[in-house]
Amino acid sequence: MNFDSKNILLYLTEDFAFGDIWEAVLAAIIIAFLFFLIREKLFGIPDFSGQWYLRSKTDETAYNPYKNMELQHNLFLRLEGSNIRGASEKVYEDSSYGKRATHSRHILKYTGKHRARAQIEGSIQKNIFGPDILTIHATEYGEKRQSTIYCRFELKKFFFFISNRKAIMFDGDFYSMVADQRGSVCLSKVPFNQSIAGIKGKV
């Protein structure tokens, strides 16, 4: 029996079992595509890869000169699935309030070798109905000692479950082993404002 293209097409379309298989395969492909689209567009996470800026403000501490101190770090992050890795540098410090007994102004901008560097590891915990949780653990290598900083951010959603993948700023809390500091922290794609550097003691 000779088969040309028309006979083959007729054979395939008339074969009920073969048609069912093709329908099942096509349905599986469509479902997989829709699942991928929903997961990425509705339940995905922001792309944390690239340069970010971190600002922390100390609310509680065992060392009074650190009270209300503001620090800023430049972060360089890499997103690997739900894990985050990267590095940071401390670039700014305003501890004028904590040192108000001896200084009227104590603002530093760090450059070059004076920037304390840190290794960063973190992860994102996905939650269907509540906010996703971003945690960042930084090991900082200062001039005098090594310290650990822990940050926790809630990634807010639209309508309880739809992720805001275009968000560029997140608020959270931090804890540092240096003088048991606790306070607020903000992660942003946009640099934070900085005051003019200067150290001025009280007369």
Owning domain of residue 80: 50-201
Express each pLDDT in 80-101 by its tens digit.
989 999 999 999 999 999 998 8
Instruction: Please indicate, yes or no, whether residues 106 and 125 belong to a single structural domain of this protein.
Output: yes
What pLDDT, on a 0 to 100 scale, did the predictor assign at position 101? 87
Instruction: Please indicate, yes or no, whether residues 115 and 191 belong to a single structural domain of this protein.
Output: yes
Per the structure, how many domains does the chain have?
2
Is residue 177 classed as helix, strand or coil in its secondary structure? coil
Q: Is 5 exposed, middle or buried (0-12, 13-18, 19+ CB in 10 A)?
A: exposed
> pLDDT higher for 57 or 31?
57
CA 69 to centroid of chain Cα atoms: 23
Mean pLDDT across the chain: 84
**Max Cα separation, the chain?**
109
Express each pLDDT in 1-48 by its tens digit.
455 555 555 555 555 455 667 777 776 776 665 554 455 555 567 889
Instruction: Please indicate, yes or no, whether residues 87 and 131 belong to a single structural domain of this protein.
Output: yes
What pLDDT, on a 0 to 100 scale, did the predictor assign at position 175? 98
pTM for this model (two decimals): 0.78
